[in-house]
Structure 1
Amino acid sequence: MSARNSHRSYGRVARLFHWTTAALILLAAPLGIIANRLPYDTAQSLAFKAQVFSLHKTLGVVVFFVALGRILWALLEAHPAPLHPERRLELWVARLVHWMLYISLVAVPLTGWVHHAAVTGFAPIWWPFGQGLPFVPQSEAVAQAAGSAHWVFTKLMIVSIILHIAGALKHHVIDRDDTLRRMTLGTLAPANPVPARRTALPLLTAAALFGLGAGVAALPRGEPITTTPTVAAAPAGNWQVSAGTLTIGVTQMGQTVTGSFANWSADITFNEVATEGRHGTVTVTIDTGSLALGSITAQAKSADFFDVAAFPQAVFTADILPAASGYEATGTLTLRGAEVPVTLPFTLTIDGDTATMTGQTSLDRRDFGIGASYGDESSVGFGVVVDVDLTANRS
């Protein structure tokens, strides 16, 4: 049996591509479904969930490259003539299904890969070439778009696979011809096969179906994505925040995950000249439900972590004091029902009536009862890094 195709049969390379792809899909698809449904209420269950997701993602990357090789081979090689060239509608549907399979074999893993690259989180791809993709920024908007497209494209892939299998069984059981045996055993078609007329319409139809699927994926779902933090002005102080970011960094499964709160407000009273050793006061109110933390956002908002349903706000109240390298806000952070002393060192630059501030501090999640069931750092680190950057105007 030749490695290359002929007008009478599929070669060894085409058959190897076909069955390798089928085996990878039959492994990767169920793993994705299982991984999504696995719980993560303990450190052990989270670690197992991450491993299943990593295996799913890694197989998806393999599928992507195998599919590219398979499509390239199919485009360069001769295509065996059909056994029933007179059945024009059947041939048209078969080619449509084949093009849908080819497109889905690239689109499904690629959109999943883009989603992975656009967010930070656990479950890395098991390979040595990094977790990002060129031209794919880390962005919640990109992640949501890619995730939605991935979900829609998997459904088109499933439909294509079902139709493909149904067609093969129809040929084998009802027609009793050699269509299936050509791909399994390399069986030759009759001598002097009649080639079918080639047309681009099945490809164009398949592309249109996936384009329609991309349009469906782009439809808004639920709350719109907030890409710019909303900083509510606080009227009581003598400085009004005009722009800023409030971000946190945590470690999960050995990887740094960075996120931010989209909605928060700061009530700032500050004077350049200290009175009784104090420059002023600050009260920061944070909407914990506005947290976006990469691929683990839902987990971070759950009852075992921030528990945003029971504790929708966190409040930091502090005095602004002079420090050796600038200033520090020393006070109390009320989060998840716990009140913990916190000091935030920061630098401040004032240019006329505009001030820019940058600060960073570290917290221990255990002080607030966050992730109590994760007793060690193998799954979730104890430390949380908080960064604040803001611009304020004197009122």
Structure 2
Amino acid sequence: MSATAQRYTAVAIVLHWAIAAAILFMIPLGLWMHEEAENGNVSQGLFEAYQLHKSIGLTVLALSVVRLGWRLANPPPPLPVHMPGWEKFVAKLTHWAFYALIIALPLTGWLYVSAGWSIHDEAPLPVPTHWFGLFEVPHLFGLNQASLDVREDAAEAALTTHAYLGFTALGLVALHVAAALKHHFFDRDETLAHMVPGVRAPFEKEAPPKNPVRLAVLGVGLSLVTVAAVAALFTVATLGSAAPQAPPSTFEAVEAEPTAPETPNVGAPDSAPVAPTAVPRWTVDARSSSIGFAYEYEDENGSTPFNGRFTRWRADIRFDPSNLDASSAVVRIETASASTGVTAHDGALPSAEWFNAGAHPMAEFRTTRIRSRGGNQYEARGRLTIRGQSRDVSLPFTLSIDGDRASMRGSTTIDRNDFGVGEGGSGDDLISRDIQLTIRVDATRAR
């Protein structure tokens, strides 16, 4: 046995620890992301986590290809001579399995995002991949242009494989670490010293000769790895902190002061009738009520439907089916609360080009007339105001009242350009002008 242990090259050591740190960081991040997506989280923080995960994964893929090339051009130190044949075979098999994993793991992730399909929502998810925000990464094999069935199948296969490879990598890491410690503390050979800078083999009596070039490569390389690791941890710790997200859906029935009965101003259709105190007020049930919207996303791949909702709104509802002339409703919606489940879309909706939530934080629908269409069919006519622009809107709806409980369902379609929403802005040519609004209100008669 030689008095000085042989070691991997400085470049191999830096690449080894860079890839190892990235994978050990990525696996728990990936598990957290998957859990959050399964629970319906569509926050900006989760979107940023996905972009970080993808950027680091693509970096791992590039480093792994370089690492493999360096390994082929620079043979590693020989295994300890005392190792039995079976142990040498397992060691070599484990190393080559690692090479396969560190290439296949990010590659399957790239395949998944290339498909542009969310297995959590079972719907298209056309979100681009930006490498650390510097440039857009192309999709593999034109998967984003394939049929929806192909994209769905490819996404499911790629993500399933990605998950299995991740757990396999954890198992191999545990085996690899245990073997290295066993060789150092029990076999007392040079295996651990091959790859860990500053660690001597147990039999070494003195430190190996210092090579300035080797020390410089190790110092700079491992310092960069450390800085990158700290930056990644800091990024995860502050995900979404620059743009706090809206809280879960909230609904508020506005308490209004009783007013004396008045005759509606029929000659002024833009003004809402004043509800007399005899008309009961209805309190919205937050658990089952919603205001949703739907649109089509059209690109070179065809038309893809998307659904969204407003998570913060409030309503003042005064309704009596036997006194429709005095019935009324005023609904106010926080435009910044629009959520579609596609963070790229959600990030754009509050912007000046779309809802311009900063200047116009509220949209409002105020009825001017409610009429019966027979049976449980009704129609609410009123003024819808978005971005400070108002248009007459008709909302057909069905209504059933059972004692003190009422259930209303309605739907109508508007042209977003009537309100200047997105007109001429980024993505205007991709999002349909016709927006379907779907209203569901379950309410209780106030006492």
TM range (shorter): 0.5 to 0.7
Q: Using the alignment, how far apart are the partners of 1:308 and 1:146 within structure 2?
A: 22
Please state how far the C-alpha of 1:389 moved relative to its aligned partner.
0.8
Q: Using the alignment, how far apart are the partners of 1:262 and 1:338 within structure 2?
A: 22
Q: Using the alignment, how far apart are the partners of 2:308 and 2:180 within structure 1?
A: 41
Q: Percent identity?
A: 26
Cα RMSD between the aligned structures?
4.5
The superposition leaves residues 268-292 of structure 1 with CA deviations (integer Å, 9 ceiling, x where unpaired) of: 11112135xx361111111111111
Aligned to 1:99, the other structure's residue is in SS state helix
Unaligned runs of 5+ in 2: 84-90, 92-175, 182-195, 197-224, 257-279
Please state how far the C-alpha of 1:314 moved relative to its aligned partner.
1.0
The superposition leaves residues 33-63 of structure 1 with CA deviations (integer Å, 9 ceiling, x where unpaired) of: xxxxxxxxxxxxxxxxxxxxxxxxxxxxxxx
1:323 counterpart (370, 373, 396): 373
Indicate whether 1:232 and 2:252 are aligned: yes
2:329 counterpart (270, 282, 285): 282
Aligned to 2:319, the other structure's residue is in SS state strand
Q: Using the alignment, how far apart are the partners of 1:386 and 1:234 within structure 2?
A: 22
Aligned to 1:297, the other structure's residue is in SS state helix
1:92–1:202 contact (8 Å) kept in structure 2: no
Please state how far the C-alpha of 1:97 moved relative to its aligned partner.
3.4
Q: Which is further off, 279-288 or 365-374?
A: 365-374
Indicate whether 1:305 and 2:354 are aligned: yes
Specify the alignment match of 1:356 in structure 2: 407
Distance 1:156 1:370, change over 3 A: closer
Q: Using the alignment, how far apart are the partners of 2:427 and 2:7 within structure 1?
A: 65
Aligned to 1:328, the other structure's residue is in SS state strand
Specify the alignment match of 1:250 in structure 2: 295
Distance 1:163 1:267, change over 3 A: same
Aligned to 1:361, the other structure's residue is in SS state strand
Please state how far the C-alpha of 1:349 moved relative to its aligned partner.
1.6
Q: Which has the larger radius of gyration?
A: 2
Please state how far the C-alpha of 1:231 moved relative to its aligned partner.
0.7
Q: Using the alignment, how far apart are the partners of 2:427 and 2:75 within structure 1?
A: 63
Q: Which is further off, 325-334 or 281-290?
A: 325-334
Q: Using the alignment, how far apart are the partners of 2:348 and 2:239 within structure 1?
A: 25
Distance 1:101 1:359, change over 3 A: same
Specify the alignment match of 1:150 in structure 2: 50
The superposition leaves residues 213-267 of structure 1 with CA deviations (integer Å, 9 ceiling, x where unpaired) of: 5993586625664564211121136111122111111112222221111111111
1:148–1:218 contact (8 Å) kept in structure 2: no
Distance 1:342 1:372, change over 3 A: same
Q: Which aligned segments of 4 or more residues in structure 1 are displaced greater than 3 angstroms?
A: 88-108, 110-115, 142-146, 151-165, 179-183, 187-190, 196-199, 201-206, 212-220, 222-228, 374-378
Q: Map 1:65-214 onto structure 2 (within 5 A).
A: 86-87=6-7, 95-100=16-21, 136=38, 139=40, 141=41, 144=44, 146-153=46-53, 156-157=56-57, 180=69, 183=72, 189=75, 194-195=78-79, 199-200=176-177, 213=233
Distance 1:258 1:99, change over 3 A: same
**Letter matched to residue 335 of structure 1:** I
**Letter matched to residue 291 of structure 1:** A
Indicate whether 1:372 and 2:423 are aligned: yes
1:306–1:336 contact (8 Å) kept in structure 2: yes
Please state how far the C-alpha of 1:386 moved relative to its aligned partner.
0.4
Please state how far the C-alpha of 1:101 moved relative to its aligned partner.
5.7
Q: How many residues align?
A: 270
Specify the alignment match of 2:363 in structure 1: 314
Q: Using the alignment, how far apart are the partners of 1:347 and 1:306 within structure 2?
A: 29
Aligned to 2:79, the other structure's residue is in SS state coil
Distance 1:308 1:188, change over 3 A: closer
Please state how far the C-alpha of 1:89 moved relative to its aligned partner.
10
Q: Using the alignment, how far apart are the partners of 1:200 and 1:376 within structure 2?
A: 50
Aligned to 1:150, the other structure's residue is in SS state helix
Aligned to 1:392, the other structure's residue is in SS state strand
Specify the alignment match of 2:389 in structure 1: 338
**Letter matched to residue 296 of structure 2:** T
